[in-house]
């Protein structure tokens, strides 16, 4: 009699095990696909990744100024890149 009760309990654990195994495999496949493709699909759907029209050169200049202020680039490099940005604006 005790054997029957034990088998029922064991079968329940097997169902849970297989369910978790399948879910884990699905999650692993999703993570691998996102990793291999760069995971950039979500940004375009929300529309937050592309700057508004006309904001590109202004934002580029802001980034350049921030990098110069932090000391990441020299004065010479700052001026050269600023000239390049101004030429692109024309």
- 5-18 confidence digits (pLDDT tens): 556 667 778 889 99
- What percentage of the chain carries pLDDT values higher than 90? 42
Q: What is the pLDDT of residues 28-58, one digit of tens each?
A: 999 999 989 876 555 544 445 555 555 677 8
Confidence band of 1 (pLDDT split at 50, 70, 90)? very low
- Output the pTM of the full model: 0.38
Q: Which phi and psi (to 5°) does residue 48 adopt? A: -90, -5
Averaged pLDDT of the chain: 79
Question: Alpha carbon of 56 to those of 4, 39, 51, 69, 86: distances in Å?
Answer: 72, 23, 6, 20, 12
Burial annotation 21-43 (CB, 10 A radius, 16+ → b, else e): eeeeeeeeeeeeeeeeeeeeeee
């Amino acid at each position: 009699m005790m054997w029957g009760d034990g088998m029922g309990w064991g079968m329940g654990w097997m169902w849970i095990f297989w369910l978790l195994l399948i879910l884990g495999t699905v999650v692993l496949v999703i993570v691998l696909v996102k990793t291999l493709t760069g995971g950039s699909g979500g940004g375009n759907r929300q529309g937050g990744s592309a700057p508004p029209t006309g904001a590109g050169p202004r934002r580029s200049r802001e980034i350049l100024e921030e990098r110069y202020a932090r000391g990441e680039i020299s004065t010479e490099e700052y001026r050269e890149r600023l000239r390049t940005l101004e030429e692109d604006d024309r």
